[in-house]
Structure 1
Amino acid sequence: MLYPMSPKVVELKRKLESFMDRHIYPNEERFYREAEELGPWKVYPVVEELKPLARAEGLWNLFLPESGHGAGLTNLEYAPLCEAMGRTHLAPEVFNCSAPDTGNMEVLERYGTEKDKERWLKPLLAGEIRSCFAMTEPAVASSDATNIESSIVRDGDHYVINGRKWYTTNATDPRCKICIFMGKTDPDNPDRHKQQSMILVPMDTPGIEVKRPLPVFGFYGVPDRASEVIFTNVRVPKENMLLGEGRGFEIAQGRLGPGRIHHCMRLIGLAERTLEKMCRRVRSRVAFGKPVSEQTVTQERIAEARIMIEQARLLTLNAAYAMDTVGNKVAKAEIAMIKVAVPNMACQIIDWAIQAHGGGGTSNDFGLIQAYATARLLRLADGPDEVHRNQIARFELKKYTNA
């Protein structure tokens, strides 16, 4: 292996996979059923039952690289564990390693005051509450975050917040107690990247309306609790401002780098699980006198899927290594490349698996359309493909500025 696992990671991976065999996979059907029956406004009991078991086995907050609250793993060390969790929608939250809480916890760890950490980070680390991140807006093209129109206006010892956000993950969850909100404090600043700020907004503050859940390919609770949230004259203390006015983009870049690579790690696990399902399905079905697994087109797709997964994994491990050794800012190109390559890889493999399952592949029975919803969503979340491709091209062209 180019990136061998340390003994510590090997042992954690063994424990994680054992836990998933004992507790996660046997409860998947129940998880999807609860999500469908209870909807996005409720807590799913199966998740709350499994979280104490995971914590008792030391499989908790594995994502935190720098603080003393997690396993102290680097991005490279966390990669195989995150991949394993990504094999099923149920796993990440059970281990307190799900978005957007992971990113929000990292923001609070890096930029929050001691008071913020006590009030919000501590219960998040304990899995007692959840959080949301309000950035995307329906009225503007949010792929360019400088378009954000929501306002954060200073008024004495408070800030007054107004705006309409959507795809604010977790907002419908009754455990969601804190929001990290991005809006403009200085809309006239000539530097468009210093107009925005981020601020902590308790979700019980007057003026917040969680208007509706937003379905992702018809799913309201899984794979995402996407939500639309209205903020009307919401007043929060000035101390809730993170890092200072005009530093929202700085925080966003620190937050989104790890978030993007975590998404890619999980998607590789989802693609692996999907390929397994595909292989088992085609070996058990006969069409036109021979197993579907012996049809040449099936074999070509299986071969291509294996090649694509291995390529995506190596690219992701390389990005993780770069983040660990030279930092997120220097590793921007590597992060951008995986954010394009991995979701597209996953979409293609899941599509082939749906085809291999026949009509059943389009039902909820095999978990494939839920998987596709996740993969397709991630070609947009944390920056769409087009933005990352443009960024990669600019990095490449810069090499030949004086050519």
Structure 2
Amino acid sequence: MQIYLVGGAVRDKLLSLPVKDKDFVVVGATPADMLEQGYQQVGKDFPVFLHPSTKQEYALARTERKSGSGYTGFTCYAAPDVTLEQDLVRRDLTINAMVEDENGQVIDPLNARADLDNRVLRHISASFSEDPLRVLRVARFAARFHRQGFTIADETLLLMQAMTQAGDLAELTPERVWQEVEKTLSAANPEVFFKVLKDIGALAVILPELDNLFDLAVISSDEDNDDKNNSNLGLQALSLLKNTALLSSNLAIRFAAVMQNLGEQQANIKALAKRCKVPNEHRDLAILVSAQQAHIHNALTLTPAAIISLFDNTDAWRKPERFQQILLTCSSSKSKQLADAYQPTQYLTNMLNTACDIAVQPIIAAGFRGPEIKQQLTLQRISALTALRA
């Protein structure tokens, strides 16, 4: 039995990046051998075991054969006679197909180190096309490693495009698509994921609402808008996402940034969220940003009554933290430097704090009842904001 550290842990170690998860491949063993040594079996489709103390995953070396449709239609064969190279060649990209032995020696039968050094994302074999999910995974890796200078090999891009044109991506469930999108949103450059998918025609298949934005021209009167040179709403959306990724690591905020151009009626956001089972927190923030962004951009010209209405419509009274998320997302129309000085943020924050200082108890004590309480509270808040602006 030989045990090797495999995949992402080896790749990230060689790139001098933090190693988060460690996976191992075991060659020359049977399930009985693993169980005898105290490992706990957890895999159903193929033998995967948890280490008795570290709980890290150890998978028996295996081969895969396409036996059905979709990204789950594979028959796996795991046995002691499966070699290390046979296990590695079934993987998606060369840079994910290196192992490290127990002595720390890197074993690279597929010459993946060359692609790692040259910063190339390259598929291993033609069997790549048997799994449509790999199209999204490669786009996600392109987003994750963009800052390290990685690009997708031309032949891999062509294969991804051919898979898209053949209709292979239609096999992916919306929930599985969202899992890849969600993972991508945490990447350093999430906008690269959507750009890659747009370039190969895949965005129209998995996220048609977003893809449609590339056919709509940008109409903006904001001369200071950083996105004024983007020719369409799709490119603008990617620019907004890029800027937001520099401002916040919050996934809901990043999702709202790329979705905010989908229209003030929010029907497209709701349809996408329902189909892909997007978390409610993400959906609600995106809808509020889409609906209120114009008011927030023009906050300094709003009347006190309109500002109170903005606070009402965003439920800023009960959820001030979310209102700050809305402001941050709207500031993504600027570069990071300009976003730090985005005037509506401080202005509306001051206005909200002032309005919240108006207590409701004196209004009730004055004899107001029912709807009159809310009316009087609103009037006093408007008066307070008017005085603040004076």
Rg comparison, structure with higher value: 2
Bigger strand fraction: 1
Greater relative contact order structure (CA < 8 Å, 6+ sep): 1
TM-score of the pair, normalised by structure 2: 0.26
- TM-score normalised by structure 1 residue count: 0.25
